[in-house]
Amino acid sequence: MAPHTQQLTRPAVRLRGLTRSFEGRTVLDGLDLDLPAGQFTALLGHSGSGKSTLLRAIAGIDHGVAGSGTLTAPERVSVVFQDSRLLPWRRVLPNVLLGLDGKDAEERGRAALAEVGLAGRERAWPSELSGGEAQRAALARSLVREPELLLADEPFGALDALTRIKMHGLLRQLWERHRPSVLLVTHDVDEAIVLADRVLVLSRGRIEVDLAVEREGGSHGEYRARLLHALGVTDAGAAAPGPPLRP
């Protein structure tokens, strides 16, 4: 077997005609999507457009939701949410190791904590962490499972602006080092453009915009204007040059 070649050619996620409804109301409506292995994709959409519904479907944690269509996703999937979901009665390292076994688990957990900048905090309680640190711990908990696909549902939504910028750098760095496929849900157009290589807009139950972000020669301002337009936001400043693409 040539796992590396396979990883490069096989899409990590493949959705065809994915439909999900709540009480007769269709939220995802025959949605098609391929996520290539190793790609960093961001997903935008209005509140209530079905972003979390889509993520839960891909994560396989939407049992009981009415739906149809076909869905292929990797075996090892990690999910990060807006709140860290650390168990308050466990210290940081046991939280990161939750459900893991094997004799090298602890070592891997410590390494993951060091990677997210939390070396030395292994024995801290979740209540002793700042919001940013808690999200770092949540990232370490995902990372230690060596996911082929990382699903993140507005993971920085509750953080202050400066912490957020630091977390952007960290997430991008982790992605570059481990190369999982990433699907990042965000409501922040700039966050999407800065972090992702591809930006999707979910609207009316389908992927309405599928934008490739070119690092070389791409214009943040143009991407921004296009995405805001797709989201129905008219902003006089939207076509302004904007910040440089990942300085």
Ligand X SMILES: Nc1ncnc2c1ncn2[C@@H]1O[C@H](COP(=O)(O)OP(=O)(O)O)[C@@H](O)[C@H]1O
Helix (H, G, I), strand (E, B) or coil at 118: coil
Tell the smallest beta-carbon distance from residue 63 to ligand X (Å): 11
192 binds ligand X (CB under 6 A): no
Helix axis angle, 131-143 to 105-115, nearest 10°: 140
Angstrom distances, CA of residue 40 to CA of 69, 179, 194? 24, 9, 11
Contact 33, 15 (CB under 8 A): yes
Among 53, 135, 142, 186, binds ligand X (CB under 6 A): 53
Binds 244, which of ligand X, Mg ion, none (CB < 5 to 8 A, cut-off by type)? none
Number of Cβ atoms within 10 Å of the Cβ of 85: 14
Tell the smallest beta-carbon distance from residue 50 to Mg ion (Å): 8
* DSSP-derived secondary structure letter, 83: S
Please report the sign of the dihedral spanned by the C-alpha atoms of residue 170, residue 174, residue 177, residue 179.
negative
45 binds ligand X (CB under 6 A): yes
Binds 48, which of ligand X, Mg ion, none (CB < 5 to 8 A, cut-off by type)? ligand X
51 binds ligand X (CB under 6 A): yes
Report the alpha-carbon distance of residue 150 to residue 175 in Å, rounded.
9
Among 48, 99, 217, 247, binds ligand X (CB under 6 A): 48
Write the burial class of residue 127 (CB in 10 Å: 0-12 exposed, 13-18 middle, 19+ buried).
exposed
Report the alpha-carbon distance of residue 80 to residue 223 in Å, rounded.
26
Tell me which stretch binds ligand X (CB under 6 A): 45-53, 94-102, 120-128, 157-165.
45-53
Q: Supply 39's token pair.
A: 């790609």
Tell me which stretch binds ligand X (CB under 6 A): 40-48, 73-81, 138-146, 167-175.
40-48
Report the alpha-carbon distance of residue 71 to residue 58 in Å, rounded.
7
The nearer residue to ligand X, 22 or 235, going by C-beta atoms, is 22
Tell the smallest beta-carbon distance from residue 28 to ligand X (Å): 8
52 binds ligand X (CB under 6 A): yes
Binding region for Mg ion (CB under 5 A): 51-52
Among 39, 41, 49, 95, binds ligand X (CB under 6 A): 49
Q: Where along the sequence are the contacts to ligand X (CB under 6 A)? A: 22, 27, 45, 47-53
